[in-house]
Structure 1
Amino acid sequence: MLVKTKSKFYTPDEYRQLEETTEFRNEYRDGEILEMAGGTINHSQIIGNIYAFLKSALRGKNARPFMSDLRLWIPRHRRGTYPDVMVIEGEPVFTEERSDEILNPVLIVEVLSKSTKDFDREDKFRFYRSIPEFREYVLVSQQEFLVQQYIRNESNQWLFQEYEGESATVSFTSVGVQMLVSDIYELVIFKKEETEVQE
């Protein structure tokens, strides 16, 4: 869940200074700052599973995964955000020589929550598509064995693929690795009436 702070316009530099001292992470949306609330245990488990797998699978390759404590800046839309998992190919490109804000992920994974799933699928995906290096977007449900994937092809079209059931295998095409859906959801317990602390 994102919670609006007091109505005030912040410059990108004011936002970055705030992020250096604040106890909680915030997203920046073209002058507005929105506080990010905590996530569920399933949300955290899925992120950890995917990150750990990618870290091992990409060892020795020219690509590195990062978790949600590294900020992504999207210049065209003046957005600062913290994707759940990102992969950078080659060297990270930083904003103005900062070490806490990158510009060039090839792969972004978002674990969906009830409060943000529509935004993640629509507006956030549109913002991410403005990143030249960005080639793959993966959306993971917390409620069931369901992974949705968008891959940019050589014609600059985005192709959709859906993986259902724990026996399916997800191909992270942009980095050339595959992961079982059952591994994505390792130790995740689904509840019929799950009460989440929205993130």
Structure 2
Amino acid sequence: MTDPAYRTMTEEEYLRWDGPREGGKWEFVDGFVYAQAGASRPHNRISSNIQRVFLNASEGGPCWTHVSDLKVRVSRDGRSRYYLPDIVVVCDPESTEDYEENPCLIVEILSASTRAIDESFKASDYRRLPSLQGYLLVDSEGQGVEFHRRKGDDWEIEVIEDAVNLPCLDVSLSLDAIYRGTTL
């Protein structure tokens, strides 16, 4: 008998599970595990460009930046979800888990296969995190950047045309820096 195409698992099973031998990255939503597609060359270049700016800004400070393998745990309707953002900035040196519950800044790099989820479900879920000060969405198929900034209990959305001042790392990130070395 073969395994069903979809099966559920508990949160504890997911956190112990390493996925199939082929590797890959897996998100956990409402008991289901979803494979994350590999990234394009522009996606990887954009991620490296942003990470370069973030690493320089975090040098000697209280925050650290993680690329794509740090799970972020959010809760919706009493159920845990685990996402793997492209970049996570954490300013909580006490965290010892293999996942983060208190990120300060999250970056998602959009592609055709992730755009709808990153702009809707994930945006909604990330905004539930009390520690989150900003959520940056960066297009990998054309130049386009949107920043969701916490303003008290509300969120303000900024379409970035030149540069954006980001919280947590107190750094300005320009479109030129984001898209350097790409053909976008």
Q: What TM-score, normalized by structure 1, do the two folds share?
A: 0.83
Q: Name the amino acid aligned to 1:83.
A: P
Q: Find the partner of 1:88 among 82, 87, 90.
A: 90
Q: The residue matched to 2:116 in structure 1 has which SS?
A: helix
Aligned twin of 2:100: 102
Partner of 2:143: 145
Aligned pair partner of 2:164 in 154, 161, 170: 170
What stretches of structure 1 of length at least 5 have no aligned partner?
A: 191-199
Alignment partners' CA distance in 1, 2:142 and 2:117 = 19
For residue 112 of structure 2, the aligned residue among 92, 106, 114 is 114
CA shift for structure 1 position 145: 2.1
The answer to whether the 8 Å contact 1:92/1:104 transfers is no
Report SS of the residue matched to 2:51: helix
How much has 1:20 moved relative to structure 2? 7.1
Contact 1:137 1:150 (C-alpha < 8 Å) held by counterparts: yes
* 1:128-178 deviation digits (Å, cap 9, x = unpaired): 111110110100011222110010112x110111113xxx11211343110
Structure 2 partner of 1:29? 29
Which consecutive aligned stretches of 4+ in structure 1 deviate over 6 angstroms post-superposition? none
Partner of 1:196: none
- CA distance in structure 2 between the aligned counterparts of 1:61 and 1:20, rounded to whole angstroms: 35
User: Structure 1 residues 7 and 143 mapped into 2: Cα distance closer, same or farther (>3 Å)?
Assistant: closer
Provide structure 2 residue ranges, at least 5 long, that are not aligned to the other structure.
Answer: none
Q: Is the 8 A contact 1:92 1:103 kept in 2?
A: no
User: Superposed, which structure 2 residues align to 1:5-84 within 5 Å?
Assistant: 6-19=5-18, 22=21, 23-76=23-76, 77-84=79-86
Q: What is the total number of aligned residue pairs between the two structures?
A: 178
Give, as a single letter, the amino acid of the residue that structure 1 aligns with 2:26: N
Q: TM-score, normalised by structure 2?
A: 0.90
